Chains A and B, each alone.
Chain A
Amino acid sequence: MTDDHSVDDRVPPRNGLDLSRRDTLKGGAVVAAAALTGAAPGPAAAATDVAPLPSAPRHGLRLQTTVNGTAVSVDIDTRTSLLDLLRERLALTGAKKGCDHGQCGACTVHVDGRRVASCLTLAAKLEGREVLTIEGLSEPGTLHPMQQAFIDHDALQCGYCTPGQIMAAVACVAEGNATSPERIREYMSGNICRCGAYVGIVAAIEDAAATMGRG
């Protein structure tokens, strides 16, 4: 897991404690976390620290899925979106809730290698599938070329849309849709940046596409 190295949630150490914002959230969530068996602690172990539901849902199900390479077994309310599962239950707060209606792209993650809007994805549909979030994009201590390119090109201002932009951008390159600035703009149009950092975003994707060997 990239808790100590993610690009979006690092806060300065305080009171001598080196805690990221996500560690803090996770700590709160883990207090009464359901114990999981069979999931070896790995790089994505954070994904198995499951926050419990406050009460048993009237309409629930047990979901078995994989998040950032780690098996996850979790009881959910059927209404749960993938985005809420990630953020509220698994303490993976990289994917952001912008509009919650599939219109802004801030919640973009990959399912079975394809980018989707996690806010419009029923978590129940993740049974047996593999989810990749910004937290699992690179090995601990490293940055994915796309993350590095966003830094190099100053491709953000407030940063709220950035995890979604980066996950969409990585997919855009993998799809072969990062072959020109025009094509990048078309295939990144599902990700809105209110700060208007589009010039830097397109430049970052062109740059990273070359590094990634596509486009």
Chain B
Amino acid sequence: MHPFDYIRPATPQDAVAAFANAEAGARYIAGGTTLYDLMKLDIERPPLLIDVTAIAGLGEVDIGDERLRVGALVPMSTIAADPDIGRDYPVLAESLAKAASQQLRNMATVGGNLLQRTRCMYFRNGADGAFPCNKRQPGSGCAAIDGLDRGQAVLGTSASCTAVSPGDWPVALTALDASVEIVGPAGARRMLVADLYRLPGDTPHLEFSLTPGELITGIEIPRPAAGSGSTYHKIRDRESYAFALASAAVVVQRDGDLVSRARIALGGVATRPWRATEAEDLLVGQPLTIETALAAGRAAFSTATPGHHNGFKLELGARTVADALLIAAERSRT
């Protein structure tokens, strides 16, 4: 592992200042479950770690009438087990309860989780030169596209990269139109979670739209309309403790028997948390039945581009969306 210095500032301002004064490549660290892991694999080589976990005031959970605010340093396990969030925002609690293991949920934070990097095996296992990767080393090529691509994305891919965005929590937040609070060298700003993620295009090494030195301090989630039903449905190779093959975060609002609004985001199948607007539009004014739910699921994958071994994700993903819609509808009331 590349040697590094380690500091633990007490305020966001001190953290940002430390970043500004550091040599290039410094990184903020909270739980470290992604960053330290990738440092062991020689993929991340920061010369300085700025541990943000001593910063006061970033560990609060505030459930308001209009919105939920979660400090960036709240552990994943706290949100997963919060009974109020489980009642009012089931899609959020379920996305975290179905992510990682309890050990990792105790370590990882809800802010850091937003910046989790891909599990593409060619990205993770090639730093010794065994495999090229445009994300790890820009311009080197992609071993996944003509390789073992069963786990790769079918939506949002490019000729440079098909790596899946691995998270569950960002998918749920995308469905709920959540935003992140950010501080950085140029001051504070706010951004939709959906805008935090970039498509790979020709620059798959640029994954997030944060500028250097920016630090996520909190997440704000608007409360879904009264009577909405929501769920996070996740299909994996094994029952627990695995990344999604396909997942769907769904919020359904009904007016009588007809859908007045549906919000659908996909995980496990795309290069970023994927909002399926064509599927959402299809459902408005329709009753939610097995047929309409499956039609919406298929619409979500109408632009999908399967590779050699991941074509199954189109049907699996469509059915995951359909199941999620029916679960959420069951939980909704008018």
Residues of A within 8 A of B (CB): 57-59, 61, 77-79, 81, 100-102, 105, 108, 114-117, 120-122, 124-125, 127, 168, 171-172, 175, 177, 185-187, 189-191
Residue of B nearest to A190 (CB): B101
Q: Does B222 contact A (CB under 8 A)?
A: no
Neighbouring B residues of A116 by C-beta, 8 Å:
103, 106-107
Q: Chain A interface: which of B10-18, B29-37, B131-139, B223-231?
A: B29-37
Q: Does B310 contact A (CB under 8 A)?
A: no
On whether the beta carbons of B4 and A168 are closer than 8 Å, the reply is no
Query: Measured between C-beta atoms, what is the minimum distance from A186 to chain B in Å?
Result: 5
Give the contacting residue for B32; candidates A61, A114, A125, A185; CB below 8 A.
A125
Residue of B nearest to A118 (CB): B103
A150 CA to B136 CA, complexed, in Å:
44
On whether the beta carbons of B101 and A122 are closer than 8 Å, the reply is no
On whether the beta carbons of B102 and A190 are closer than 8 Å, the reply is yes
Query: Measured between C-beta atoms, what is the minimum distance from A119 to chain B in Å?
Result: 9
On whether the beta carbons of A175 and B51 are closer than 8 Å, the reply is no
On whether the beta carbons of B240 and A120 are closer than 8 Å, the reply is no
Q: Does B100 contact A (CB under 8 A)?
A: yes
Which residues 31-88 of B sit at the A interface, judged by CB distance below 8 A? 32-33, 36-37, 39-40, 49, 51, 53, 77, 81
**A-B pairs, 4 with minimum CB distance:** A190-B101, A189-B240, A189-B241, A78-B6
Neighbouring B residues of A101 by C-beta, 8 Å:
37, 40
- With A122-B32, A189-B241 in contact, do A79 and B4 touch (Cβ < 8 Å)? yes
Q: Does B1 contact A (CB under 8 A)?
A: yes
A205 CA to B333 CA, complexed, in Å:
39
Neighbouring B residues of A172 by C-beta, 8 Å:
102
- With A79-B4, A125-B32, A186-B240 in contact, do A102 and B103 touch (Cβ < 8 Å)? yes
Neighbouring B residues of A61 by C-beta, 8 Å:
6
Query: Measured between C-beta atoms, what is the minimum distance from A187 to chain B in Å?
Result: 5
Query: Measured between C-beta atoms, what is the minimum distance from B264 to chain A in Å?
Result: 26
Query: Measured between C-beta atoms, what is the minimum distance from B190 to chain A in Å?
Result: 29
Task: Give how many A-B residue pairs fall within 8 Å (CB-CB).
Answer: 84
Residue of B nearest to A112 (CB): B106
- Mind listing 24 A-B residue pairs with CB under 8 Å? A59-B3, A78-B6, A100-B40, A101-B40, A102-B33, A105-B101, A105-B103, A114-B77, A115-B103, A116-B106, A117-B101, A120-B37, A120-B104, A120-B107, A121-B36, A124-B6, A168-B103, A175-B102, A185-B239, A185-B240, A187-B102, A189-B240, A190-B104, A190-B241
Q: Is the interface of B mostly helix, strand, loop or mixed?
A: mixed
Interface hub of A81, A117, A124, A125 (most chain B Cβ within 10 A):
A125
**Interface size, chain B (Cβ < 8 Å):** 28
A211 CA to B102 CA, complexed, in Å:
22
Which residues 221-250 of B sit at the A interface, judged by CB distance below 8 A? 239-241
Neighbouring B residues of A102 by C-beta, 8 Å:
33, 37, 103-104
On whether the beta carbons of A78 and B49 are closer than 8 Å, the reply is yes
Q: 16 extra interchain contacts, Cβ-Cβ under 8 A, other than A59-B3, A175-B81?
A: A61-B6, A78-B4, A78-B6, A78-B49, A101-B37, A105-B101, A117-B101, A117-B104, A121-B107, A122-B49, A124-B51, A168-B103, A185-B239, A190-B101, A190-B103, A190-B241
A190 CA to B76 CA, complexed, in Å:
15
Interface hub of B77, B81, B100, B102 (most chain A Cβ within 10 A):
B102
A187 CA to B107 CA, complexed, in Å:
15
A175 CA to B3 CA, complexed, in Å:
37
A171 CA to B102 CA, complexed, in Å:
10
Q: Does B146 contact A (CB under 8 A)?
A: no
Query: Measured between C-beta atoms, what is the minimum distance from B78 to chain A in Å?
Result: 10
Give the contacting residue for A117; candidates B1, B29, B49, B103; CB below 8 A.
B103
- With A102-B104, A117-B103, A190-B101 in contact, do A78 and B32 touch (Cβ < 8 Å)? no
Query: Measured between C-beta atoms, what is the minimum distance from B81 to chain A in Å?
Result: 8
Residue of B nearest to A57 (CB): B3
Residue of A nearest to B105 (CB): A190
Residue of A nearest to B38 (CB): A101
Residue of B nearest to A192 (CB): B241
Give the contacting residue for A108; candidates B40, B103, B239; CB below 8 A.
B103
Neighbouring B residues of A117 by C-beta, 8 Å:
33, 101, 103-104, 107
Neighbouring B residues of A120 by C-beta, 8 Å:
32-33, 36-37, 104, 107
Query: Measured between C-beta atoms, what is the minimum distance from A163 to chain B in Å?
Result: 13
A57 CA to B1 CA, complexed, in Å:
13
- With A125-B32, A190-B101 in contact, do A115 and B6 touch (Cβ < 8 Å)? no
Neighbouring B residues of A121 by C-beta, 8 Å:
32, 36, 107
Give the contacting residue for A59; candidates B5, B8, B101, B106; CB below 8 A.
B5
On whether the beta carbons of B3 and A58 are closer than 8 Å, the reply is yes
